[in-house]
Structures are given as C-alpha cells and as structure tokens.
Amino acid sequence: MKLLAGNSNPPLARAIAEELAAPLTKTQVKRFADNEVFAVIEENVRGEDVFIIQSTSYPANDNLMELLIMTDALVRASARRITAVVPYFGYARQDRKTGGRTPISAKLVANLITRAGADRVLTMDLHAGQIQGFFDIPTDNLLPAPLLAQDIKEQRGGKAASDLVIVSPDVGGVVRARALASRLNADLAIVDKRRSAPGKSEVMNIIGDVSGRRCILFDDIVDSAGTLCNAAQALSEQGAVEVAAYVSHGVLSGPAVNRVEDSVLSEMVVTDSIALSDEALACRKIRTVSIAPLIGEAIRRIANEESVSKLFD
C-alpha cells in the first residue's frame, strides 16, 4: 500500500499516515510560472495499491487539477489500483439542474476523476448521497455521525440527555440529523427556511419543541455561515438554553468566522476534512475533531479487501 498527498490538507494526510503506520510516498507537486500543475512520484509504485489523499476544497480548481494530474502520473507509472481519497468533495452542491441552462458540475467532476484513471473513490458525507451514482467506479461515502456522536457524548454527556435536541438547519438535512439523533436517543427539530439566493437564507419556522432545551445544529457544510447563524438565532429566540453546531466540512469562506464569533452559538465543531485558515484556528468558538482514524480505518479495510460498511454501524 502506498499513500500519496496533494497540497490541499497536509496535516490530515500526515495524521492518516500515522494512523496506518505507513509513510507518505515522496511526491512533488509544483507550479510552473504560469501556475500550471506539475507532479512527479519519486518512488516506485508499479503494481502497488495507491491511495491519493486530496480534498477538493479552496482553491477548488487547483486542488482538483492536482488530484487529476497525480492520478494520471500513477496510471502511467503502472500502479495496480488507484483510490482517490477525497475527504471533502467539491462541487457537490451542484448535483442537479436548478434552472434553465445550468450545469450538473458534480457529475462532470465525477467523470473527470474516473477518466483520469481512478479505480475507486473514498469520500465523506457527500452533500447528496445520490452523487455516489455519478461515478462509474466503486465509491464509498463515509459517515461522520459515529465520530461526532462520540464527541457529543464526551463533551455534553454531563447533563440529562432528555434536554438534548438535534436540529436540522433545513428540510434537506433531516435524514442526516435524524441519524445522529437516533444514535444519541435525542429528539429532532427542523428549521424551515427560505433561500432567496445562493448563500442567503431566511428562517421561517421552527418545527419541534426547543424551549428550555440544549440544541445541536447538525449540517454537512458550513460555507458563509449565514444559514447556521440565522438558525441559531431563531432557536435562541424560541427559548433554547444553548445552541451548538456540529458540521462535517468547514468551508468557512468570506465573513464566516466573524459571523460565528459574533453569533449566539456556544461552539461550532468541524472535522479536519478541510484545512482551517489561521483565522478559523484562532476563533475561540471553533473546535476541530479529526477524521484521520475514520479515513485511516477505511483505507486499511479497502487495502485488505474487508467490509467498509461496518464503519457505518
């Protein structure tokens, strides 16, 4: 087994390598003067089972091109099997036509990864589960719920679980929130919102009883943080005694960190699927939970031809 890493999230790649007690394969990923990507694998990978660890987060296009070019290099180096390990799959929010003459970019990116030569994809918490069907190769979509549920128990288990409510920030995330609520034996609430434009939303109603309860907002992506902070404010106004947030992917673009800092949120927990900016790391309300054990175990199971679905239990 060989582990390679692009430039999107070196700390996560190193943590995964430590989990597997396997060193990262020496690789150079550089830029020419005009910003073209150049990659060279500096070790023999002929006949090897290779895993490329590369999130397609900001800058999304650069990181995607790194993934594609590294995959092509491995194909031409005669690697036996290439698995693209993409903890955060960019373009996943463009999974359907939202109007006339609009693209389905998630399908396009899936095609690019497949045509580049990947034999398998390992990712985590896709924005829409059906994106797995966009790939014509085996695709494993890991769920962070067991990891986050354990953190909630450890950090918030001191009080009675009966006052805990898992909240979906929109109707589309109900299935995700219900799965977490089931693991914690907690109640479920839903924020009914209206999205006036991409990145802008308005809370309409709160479905469920949150008065006097501790609320945990659970979502897959926090980008500008507008939806999350608006939902937290609405829950507070409905009588919630505390509002925290757990998020799979902390994109945190633009004014997101400042919004979280100024919001009623007591804490926002994100995984390290995306490397956080210095500003986000310095924010007192943002905490990180590592997915290295989860990704590492999935890689080990794939390499040993064992069941990955056991990780969902």
Active-site entry in 2, 107, 159, 193: 193
Per the annotation, the verdict on 193 as an active-site residue is yes
**Contact 217/228 with Cβ under 8 angstroms?**
yes
Taking the mean position of all CA atoms in its chain, how far away is CA 121? 14
**Contact 6/70 with Cβ under 8 angstroms?**
yes
CA 256/CA 224 separation, integer angstroms: 5
Q: If we measure between CA atoms, which residue out of 2, 28, 29 comes closest to residue 17?
A: 2
Residues whose CB falls within 8 Å of the CB of residue 188, separated by 6 or more in sequence, listed in order: 165, 166, 167, 168, 174, 177, 178, 181, 208
Phi then psi for 7, rounded to 5 degrees?
-95, 5
Structure tokens at 47: 């006949």
Q: Which residues are catalytic?
A: 193
